[in-house]
Structure 1
Amino acid sequence: MTQPRPETPPLDNLTLSRKEGLRALAEAPKRQPPELLTVKQKADLSASALLEYEKHRSIWHANLGPIKTPQLTALHEDLWDIVESNLQDGDKAKGAVAVDAFPGLGKTTAVLNFALKYHRQVIERDGAFTAAGHERWPVCRVGLTSNIGMKEFNRSLLEYYAHPGRKSGTAALFAQRALDCVLQCETRILVIDDLHFLKWHDRNGTEVSNHFKYIANEFPVTLTFIGVELGNRGLYSEASTRGDITLAQTARRTTPLTMEPFTVANEKHRIEWRKMLLALEKRIVLCRKFPGMLADELSDYLYIRTTGHIGSLMTLINRGCQRAARTGAELLDEDLLDQVKLDAAAERARKALAKKFARGRMTTKPRSRAAKATEAKTVA
């Protein structure tokens, strides 16, 4: 057995609220899977080699994604359209994006995956430094907190760039410093996560909403919002409850995008579900795994447990693999996965969905011969 390669650089302690964290994640070498051992080969490992193998395998299973699902691919295509169309001269405002979907559908993962690809592409093409000698940071990401105001938002921008003036100043001064950072570092995408925390119709919410318009007008970036039920919360509202036209410009300039759960209502969708399970199955490193362990034996079960939500599915598989490795089961089956706890939303929907499958009203199994083509053409 070859010794597993160490994780370099370690990514378990990074934060995406700092530029160095995003760069570390974007530019880290591709993670290599542990060697797939037989039960006997694993038993023959020395105590120290076994500990190292299990550590490597645990980290691998905790980071199986993202899977290139149809939802992720479609979102990326839309994002490329918008970002590349925003290459207008600086006197023109850029169109914004709002990725709006329920929790557990992978919207943040998908947007982050796109942002990392964009970072790598720009750095490879243009270099790590600008013509003026500044560090180039193609992407900036800010996560919102509850009741955030304009000053706190601008400070978060400065914290991302580690600007020396981030500790003191007015909201307007922070905004000017943030603009300097964006211009000098040639940032082109500004990701704002957890936008649903913003209270649009109170003072802070209206203030930050107006600030987004300022950013769209003055910053040469594509604003990319991520959140839950943004339309219902007021992102696209033409007027506030006080009758002021405060959000109309944001609505006109923002393109809504979404991600949907997997459905199995027709043959095409059942084939997509199977392809995704086959791709996931290939990444699992368990000594007793076998072809069809997920896609054949557990297809219905996994859909019932997760209701087609990719976030719940990845959590279930990750935790299941951790338990299978730790207990020596070395494969995934219903008995083992029944012991794995999952999010409350998935568990609430499980019983009703299980009844439909038991009555034959639903299935994840493709009925046509076309499904066999998925064996050779699984998603990467």
Structure 2
Amino acid sequence: MTSPALQPDPGSLALSRKEDFKAFVDAPRRSRPEALDRNTLRALTAPERAAYDRSRRQWHANLGPIRTPQLAHLHEDLWDIVDSNLQDGDQAKGAVAVDAFPGLGKTTAVLAFAREFHRREIAEHGPFTAQGHERWPVCRVGLTGNTGMKDLNRAMLEFFGHPGRQTSTATQLGLQALDCVLSCEVRLLILDDLHFLKWRRTSGIEVSNHLKWIANEFPVTLLKVGVGLADKGLFSEGEALGETVLAQTGRRTTRLDMPPFTIDTEKGRRQWRQLLLALEQRIVLTDAYPGMLADDLSDYLFTRSTGHIGSLMTLVNRGCQRAQRTGIERLTRDLLDQVRNDEAAEQARRELEYAFRAGKATSRPHGARTPT
């Protein structure tokens, strides 16, 4: 067993390499720091206070993932697809594309699923294959705007640390990647940031054809993650140049999404409130109180995040850091007004602010306490 001192720093992991992915999968659940009252906080020695504040900084920077309805639905769909892909080797397996706007938590949700799947496979089949190879149920590859067929093959080999990844031809790299997948019994191949590809250019068509080869030859479920994949032609059936080449991908791929939170229905408002209540329970500030987010800041937080969980988590994380650093030790509108959020959320908040001020919108369900 690795001693705690030798455990890799979770903030320094590169999930495109198997050792770091394993550290991510095997990492124990973070321990929530104890919430101290003002007197106990003042009684801490300088080293104790520094250690306590450092633990809170790390905790607030890693509040997720939260099992929202969107994450739960995505995971159920992924389990359906992955568990149904037990066809024999002569049959191509169905692929998945998680296609959603930025800031909706799709990569976080996919990685949470990958961790659960990896753990399940290891628990059921053991850490080694029958041939004595390490078992790697999941392989994750991040794509870039310049990714071609050779780059994709090399990225898969980079995950396994294969010695031939720098010197082989594209064909050799593909066969070596296939050998790694077969030897390590990979069952889930995640391709993240697929939108970086230029699908209608030559390299995009080559990679699309290569993905079909992977789907035919590799006994894996392809899980593609990206933004605007439908608009880029991943599922196209048209006759324009390149679209017919991509059409088969659409027939074999199930599109899943991660919608934002909405407040135009009572169900949506209840889901938003449940998210804020879950967040409240994770915040470790001395003067935090029940209803701090869900009652007193509900409309404000929806305005600042526009229902995008990524923007909400960024704002709450940064707000907690400022509240701790300044000694305010709670989240208030005045404090959060000083915290900058991502540019997309800041640009979109103006129209929502008008709707809330005019009484045309509310994020609070019926029966929720009126904010103080």
Partners of 2:133 and 2:183 within 8 A in 1: yes
1:260 aligns to 2:247 (yes or no): no
> Would the alpha carbon gap of residues 6 and 134 (structure 1) be closer, same or farther in structure 2, given more than 3 Å must change?
closer
What is aligned with 2:191? Answer: 192
Shift of 1:148: 1.1
Aligned residue number for residue 248 of structure 1: 247
> What is the rounded CA distance, in whole Å, between the counterparts of 2:6 and 2:259 in structure 1?
33
1:173 pairs with 2:172: yes
Q: Separation in 2 of the partners of 1:333 and 1:166?
A: 52
**Range moving further from structure 2, 47-56 or 233-242:** 233-242
**1: CA distance between counterparts of 2:202 and 2:15?**
28
Maintained 8 Å contact 2:95/2:222: yes
- Matched with 1:38 is 37
Say whether the 8 Å CA contact 1:201–1:240 is kept in structure 2.
no
Deviation at 1:248, TM superposition (A): 1.5
Change (3 A) 1:178 1:37: same
Q: CA deviation at 1:40?
A: 1.2
Other structure's SS at 1:245 match? helix
- Which amino acid in 2 is paired with 1:290? Y
The alpha carbon displacement at 1:9 in A equals 4.5
Could you tell me which residue of structure 2 aligns to residue 375 of structure 1? none
The answer as to 2:127 corresponding to 1:132 is no
| Deviations, residues 205-255 of structure 1 (Å, cap 9, x unaligned) | 110000000000000000001111101101011256326731121110000
Alpha-carbon distance between aligned partners in 2 of 1:256 and 1:185, rounded to the nearest angstrom: 28
- TM-score, with length taken from structure 1: 0.94
Kindly state the Cα deviation for residue 7 of structure 1 after the two structures are TM-superposed: 10
Question: Offset at 1:59?
Answer: 0.3
Deviation of the 1:203 alpha carbon: 1.1
The corresponding residue for 1:231 is 230
Mapping 1:8-27, distance limit 5 Å: 8-27=7-26
1:150-190 CA deviation, whole Å, 9 max, x = no partner? 00110000000001111111101000000000000000000
Structure 2: distance between partners of 1:334 and 1:53: 25
Distance 1:182 1:210 in 2: 19
Please say if residues 240 and 246 of structure 1, whose CA atoms lie closer than 8 Å, have aligned partners that are also in contact.
Answer: no
Q: Quote the residue 1:214 is aligned against.
A: 213
| Pair 1:243–1:75, CA change in 2 (3 A) | closer
Which position in structure 1 is the counterpart of 2:112? 113
Partner of 1:182: 181
Structure 1: runs of 5+ lacking an equivalent: 373-380
Q: Check the 8 A contact 1:137/1:187 in 2, yes or no.
A: yes
CA distance in 1, matches of 2:119, 2:274: 28
Contact in 2 for aligned 1:195/1:225 (Cα 8 Å):
yes
8 Å Cα contact 1:158/1:177 also seen in 2: yes
3-state SS of the aligned residue for 2:230? Answer: helix
Distance (whole Å) between structure 1 residues aligned to residue 248 and residue 116 of structure 2: 30
Distance in structure 2 (CA, Å) of the matches to 1:6 and 1:321: 28
1:331 aligns with 2:338: no
Q: Secondary structure at the match of 2:11?
A: coil
Sort the Cα spacing of 1:72 and 1:6 in 2 relative to 1 into closer, same or farther, 3 A: farther
Deviation at 1:336, TM superposition (A): 0.5
In 1: Cα distance, 2:81 partner to 2:242 partner: 31
Indicate the SS of the match to 2:236: coil
In structure 2, what is the Cα distance between the partners aligned to 1:6 and 1:326? 27
Contact 2:305-2:349 at 8 Å conserved across structures: yes
The 8 Å contact of residues 200 and 242 in structure 2, kept in 1 or not, is answered as no
C-alpha distance in 2, partners of 1:330/1:7?
33
Between the aligned partners of 2:78 and 2:329, the Cα distance in structure 1 is 39
User: Could you list the per-position Cα deviations for residues 256-310 of structure 1 after superposition, in whole angstroms to 9, with x for gaps in the alignment?
Assistant: 0001000011111111111110001000000000000000010000000000000
1:6 Cα deviation from its structure 2 partner: 8.6
Pairing 1:34-73 to 2, within 5 Å after superposition: 34-73=33-72
**How far 1:349 sits from its partner (Å)?**
1.1
Q: Which 4+ runs in 1 deviate beyond 4 A?
A: 5-9
d(CA) in 2 for partners of 1:208 and 1:300? Answer: 44
The 1-side partners of 2:100 and 2:239 are apart by 23
Letter in 1 for 2:330: L
> CA contact under 8 A between 1:144 and 1:195: conserved in structure 2?
yes
Q: How many residues get paired?
A: 366
**Cα gap change, 1:7 to 1:172, in 2 (>3 Å):** closer
Gaps of 5+ in 2: none
Match of 2:92 in 1: 93
Task: Classify the secondary structure of the residue corresponding to 1:347.
Answer: helix
Residue 77 of structure 1 pairs with residue 80 of structure 2: no
Cα distance, 1:341 vs. partner? 0.4
TM-score (norm 2): 0.96
C-alpha separation between the residues in 2 aligned to 1:9 and 1:284?
Answer: 25
**What does residue 311 of structure 1 align with?**
310
Distance 2:11 2:261 in 1: 29
Check the 8 A contact 1:239/1:247 in 2, yes or no.
no
Structure 1 residue 126: deviation in Å?
Answer: 1.2
| RMSD, aligned α-carbons | 1.5
Aligned partners of 1:55 and 1:39: how far apart in 2? 17
What letter is aligned with 1:114? F
